[in-house]
Amino acid sequence: MTIAFSKYHGLGNDFVLVDNRHQPDLILTAEQAVKWCDRNFGIGGDGVIFVLPGQQGTDYTMRILNSDGSEPEMCGNGIRCLAKFIAELETADGVPVAPPKAYTIHTLAGTITPTLQPDGQVTVDMGEPILMAGEIPTTLAAADERVISKSLTVAQQDWVVTCVSMGNPHCITFVDDADAIDLAAIGPKFEHHEVFPQRTNTEFIEVMSRDYLKMRVWERGAGATLACGTGACASLVAGVLTERCDRTATVELPGGPLKIEWSAIDNRVYMTGPAEKVFAGGME
């Protein structure tokens, strides 16, 4: 059977999008998703994203499989791509889509709301950051304590880390030179460290100014990627918690910049950035 797909990316964090609206179960297995994501033998991507019927009163449900087949709770760049994909599907169904247009999306991290903007960007209400160690999860502190500037030894080096969940776990470390980090060598050691029972995404952040952060990321289940939306949000939160940056900042990733705000009014994090369609096709 041939399954139709569309390929999108958000700042080079690339995904294969699948229309799964007609049934509640995923139409691909984790093994198929791994093959589809293969850059030599498949379509190529950091993950496969499925749009399913809404749950609990939401418009739609998003599920995602990382390129290693594991299922994360949320994906920031992916949900911007998903919003554009939904607009594509609705337009094909004859439903008019006029930005600004918001969709409520059920995810494993709760309800997330992306809004298509008239300029083509997508703003996402990413919800409130989760700061308690037990909920991130990490054993770096007691379950009901925050993990702010804690020492962690990884690969015989001492690091100072702050941990934040945006529905998925992030370990943030501030460094003098983000470009000097050997991601392929150190990233897996953070990802699989015993203090992260569900593994972790890791962000290496260089503070350029109070409103400009430079970030490189090693993603759980996907490795080094060109951008990570939840990671950019978590890093901004970590920057505020450690008094390194303002509540609104640009986070520069290898794939380009994201605008991030952690609102002092409602405690929610807002992310704005692009999402682009690359091509469409069919896969066995």
Ligand X SMILES: N[C@@H](CCC[C@H](N)C(=O)O)C(=O)O
Phi-psi region of 276 (alpha: psi -120 to 50; beta: other; left: phi over 0): beta
In degrees and rounded to multiples of 5, residue 232 shows phi and psi of -65, -40
Candidate list 75, 81, 163, 233, residue with the active-site label:
75
Site size for ligand X (CB under 6 A): 18
Is 66 annotated in a binding site? The answer is yes
Near ligand X by CB under 6 A: residue from 115, 173, 201, 202? 201
How many Å apart are CA 171 and CA 218, to the nearest integer? 10
Options 82-90, 136-144, 145-153, 228-236: segment touching ligand X (CB under 6 A): 228-236
**Nearest to 76, CA basis, from 268, 231, 240:** 231
Is 13 annotated in a binding site? The answer is yes
Does the footprint of ligand X cover residue 123 (CB under 6 A)? no
Active site residue 37: no
Does the footprint of ligand X cover residue 220 (CB under 6 A)? yes
Options 76-84, 115-123, 148-156, 237-245: segment touching ligand X (CB under 6 A): 76-84
How many Å apart are CA 217 and CA 13, to the nearest integer? 11
**Nearest to 261, CA basis, from 112, 117, 123:** 123
Strand 256-262 relative to strand 269-273: parallel, antiparallel, unpaired?
Answer: antiparallel
Does the footprint of ligand X cover residue 114 (CB under 6 A)? no
Is 267 annotated in a binding site? The answer is no
Q: Cis ω on the peptide bond leading into residue 137 (within 30° of 0)?
A: yes
Does the footprint of ligand X cover residue 229 (CB under 6 A)? yes
Active site residue 228: yes
Near ligand X by CB under 6 A: residue from 8, 9, 43, 76? 76
Alpha carbons within 13 A on the beta-carbon side of 112:
31
Near ligand X by CB under 6 A: residue from 20, 123, 173, 230? 230
In degrees and rounded to multiples of 5, residue 190 shows phi and psi of -65, -50
Candidate list 81, 163, 171, 228, residue with the active-site label:
228
DSSP state of 50: E
Does the footprint of ligand X cover residue 67 (CB under 6 A)? no
Query: At what angle are helices 76-92 and 229-241 packed, to 10 degrees?
Result: 140
Annotated active-site positions, please? 75, 228
Known binding residues: 13, 66, 76-77, 168, 201, 219-220, 229-230
Known binding residues for substrate: 13, 66, 76-77, 168, 201, 219-220, 229-230
- The binding site for ligand X (CB under 6 A) comprises 13, 66, 72, 75-78, 168, 201, 219-222, 225, 228-231
